[in-house]
Chain A
Amino acid sequence: MPRSKRQVWLTFIALGVMLALLPFVVDFGLGRSWLRIMDLALLYVMLALGLNIVVGYAGLLDLGYVAFYAVGAYCYALLASPQFGLHLPFWAVLPIGAAVAGLFGVLLGTPTLRLRGDYLAIVTLGFGEIIRIFLNNLNAPVNITNGPQGINQIDPVSLLGMSLGKTHQLFGISLSAPHQYYYLFLLLTLLVVFISMRLQDSRIGRAWAAIREDEVAAEAMGINVRNIKLLAFAMGATFGGLAGGLFAGFQGFISPESFNLMESVMILCMIVLGGMGNIPGVILGALLLTVLPEALRYTGDLQRAWLGHVVVDPSDLRMLLFGMALILVMLFRPAGLLPSRQRKRELVAEGDVAVQEQASVYDARR
């Protein structure tokens, strides 16, 4: 724990230098494909932080979060690709995508205000599937989304007249496309982290915590439950849309495949695994779950080293190992790897009370 202000600053600077140098280290040590994985990991951090607002802060279990990611991505793709022949600038497209996604958040939130828990989960899940099915089928009779083929040749992100799709020389350093996207994503991720941090301790954040813990009591204390819930949905969706737009620009190609239910589930896993409601935990979860399945590709080399030849194709094996890892982590750390301090305090101080409460909830349920 840094004690003086000086130490805090030193820590920040060290962290900043590390984050700035990281892409070069990764590019040099592990190769270009890992740099792209890191870019994706940053996108997932944004997504996870967005979902964390809905699930972690406000306690609204959302299993259709990827719908907003899809809306952001498709907005970007439709406004900046040969699909409609539109090539609007990045700074117009990204906010539009985020705003439309936010609108969809309100659209989902409004009819579901009365629902909670598993009913809310299944409705959001249905919503996500509906969006995906529409994206999949809106190619006839009028071709909007190009159906299952997806949209190609999306314009790369372009900043200050410089397209991030190409390699640039900057101060004598050659920056490839993944390098440039890394810095852009890093900046935006830091922005999302900052907003999340400020939200948590704001009036709104406290209102979210209140409705998460007890909606009836929160309402009695004068919190406008409806507006505050809608705000959570809208803000989470906006972050999702933002990440979606960036994904479309980064990837240059999107299809409904990328936005299936498993993706929503994965993002939920990230925040639960890392520690719900806790920003460092959510970031850790997102990074782990993006990097882990990729790292498990190396099981092929391990098999060769131990058994002499590849018995099982590593790409077949990695999801299996990944599923096992999910189970094991939950069995040994059910509150996540880095549980939120506030929740931990509640759990430690009232351990026995919690058990009793659960028992009485069981009774009251019927």
Chain B
Amino acid sequence: MDIFVQQLINGLVLGSVYALVALGYTMVYGILELINFAHGEVTMIGAMVALSVISALVGNGVALPGVVIALLGLLAAIPACMALGFTIERLAYRPLRNAPRLAPLITAIGVSIVLQNLAMLIWGRQYISFPPILPQGRHQLLGASITDVQIVILVTSVMLMLVLTLLVKRTRLGRAMRATAQSPQIAGLMGVNANTVISLTFVMGSALAAVAGVMVSAYYGLAHYYMGFLLGLKAFSAAVLGGIGNLAGAMFGGLLLGVIESLGAGYIGDFTGGFLGSNYQDVFAFFVLILVLVFRPSGLLGERVGERA
């Protein structure tokens, strides 16, 4: 039972990070029907920028509490990623709005390769460690332990998700986004500037990605130029799992994927009598994804989507 609660907590924390990244995928997909393959790399860049700032501050002996330093790193990462998201959309996707469907997919892959290798040139191939500046407290919860960092990640993610939901449901911009997702042409007739809305969607998704990147590097204590790839893959899976284009779906899918993964990794050894070990963790995520899609092809919370040409 202790293991169960512990893995559940770990899963929820991990899942909330997946959910934040998944939101970026799903928002872009909702409006453009484009898999923004470079989104995972935006997350990675966010982590790298934050780590550079944090390391620089720590290295220069700036006498501030660890939490403040981490926040400063985050504050540097967010605008950097927003600018990056904006630029990617402007240069790589906007010119291909009316091109064959696979063309933007290939540019997305190109952008992802470019960002990965740029990061490698700037930060090198080695793992970069997150300085131990954050409080390391542990708390007991139902026989399991939860760390301060985990609590912060969970609370921040849930708050950001709430803010985003309110923004999309209640504000003018949110209404414009939903209208553009329905039909860019008609939204345009109603006075919505589709290009602005799309740019803002990218910017918002990238800001969330920055936060997720910083959190995941704080959680594992590491960052790496390659980290965005698998994270992006999992987040995209989460978005599809929940029903792509659907905000609540992305959040739910992210949390579910995280929990499944943690529980899977925790119990797979017991289930198979030690034949399969926790190194099959990633198989679990993909296997569940395939199962769900086979039985509910539009994702768990997705509505039935008509056939696209």
A interface residue numbers (CB < 8 A to B): 61, 111-112, 114-119, 121-123, 125-127, 129-130, 133-134, 136-137, 140-141, 213-216, 261, 265, 268-269, 272-273, 276, 312, 316-317, 319-320, 322-327, 330-331, 334-335, 355, 357-359, 361-366
Contacts and interface: CB of A to CB of B under 8 A. Distances in A.
B114 interface: yes
Interface string B109-124: 1111110111011000
B289 A137 contact: no
Interface string B96-128: 101110111111011111101110110000000
A330 B240 contact: no
A208 to B, nearest CB: 16
Interface stretch (B132-140, B153-161, B178-186): B178-186
Contacts of A327: 91-92, 107, 110-111, 114
A129 B309 CA distance: 28
B308 interface: yes
B247 to A, nearest CB: 14
Interface string B270-309: 0000111101101100110110011001110000011111
B79 to A, nearest CB: 24
B110 A323 contact: yes
A137 B182 CA distance: 45
A214 B102 CA distance: 17
Nearest to B274: A141
Contacts of A123: 289-290, 293-294
B130 interface: no
Given A276-B100, A362-B185, 8 more contacts: A126-B287, A129-B283, A272-B103, A273-B106, A326-B113, A334-B99, A359-B185, A363-B186
A326 B106 contact: yes
Contacts of A141: 274-275
A364 B306 contact: yes
B237 interface: yes
A181 to B, nearest CB: 29
Interface centre among B110, B111, B112, by most A CB within 10 Å? B110
Given A323-B117, A330-B106, A126 B289 contact: yes
Nearest to A273: B106
Given A133-B283, A137-B280, A323 B306 contact: no
A331 B107 contact: yes
A248 to B, nearest CB: 24
B70 interface: no
B183 A269 contact: no
A127 to B, nearest CB: 7
A320 B115 CA distance: 8
**Majority secondary structure of chain A interface residues (helix, strand, loop or mixed):** helix
B61 interface: no
Nearest to A363: B183
B116 to A, nearest CB: 8
Nearest to B289: A126
A364 B182 CA distance: 9
B96 A330 contact: yes
Contacts of A117: 308
Contacts of B99: 330, 334-335
Nearest to B294: A111
B297 A115 contact: yes
B113 A319 contact: yes
A111 B287 CA distance: 12
B233 interface: yes
B184 A118 contact: no
Contact of B100 (A118, A126, A334): A334
Question: Which 6 A-B pairs give the minimum distances between C-beta atoms?
Answer: A323-B113, A326-B110, A334-B99, A126-B286, A323-B114, A334-B103
Nearest to B35: A118
A136 to B, nearest CB: 8
B297 A114 contact: yes
Contacts of B91: 327
Nearest to A61: B102
A361 B308 contact: yes
B283 A130 contact: yes
Contacts of A334: 96, 99-100, 103
Interface centre among B33, B184, B233, B309, by most A CB within 10 Å? B309
B286 A361 contact: no
B244 interface: yes
B306 A133 contact: no
Nearest to A136: B279
Contacts of B92: 327, 331
A122 B110 contact: no
A109 to B, nearest CB: 12
5 contacts: A129-B283, A326-B109, A330-B110, A363-B183, A365-B308
Contacts of A326: 106-107, 109-110, 113
B57 to A, nearest CB: 28
Nearest to B243: A119
Nearest to B110: A326
Contact of A357 (B35, B95, B279, B309): B309
Interface in B137-193: 181-186
Contacts of B184: 362
A335 B100 contact: yes
B237 A122 contact: yes
B18 interface: no
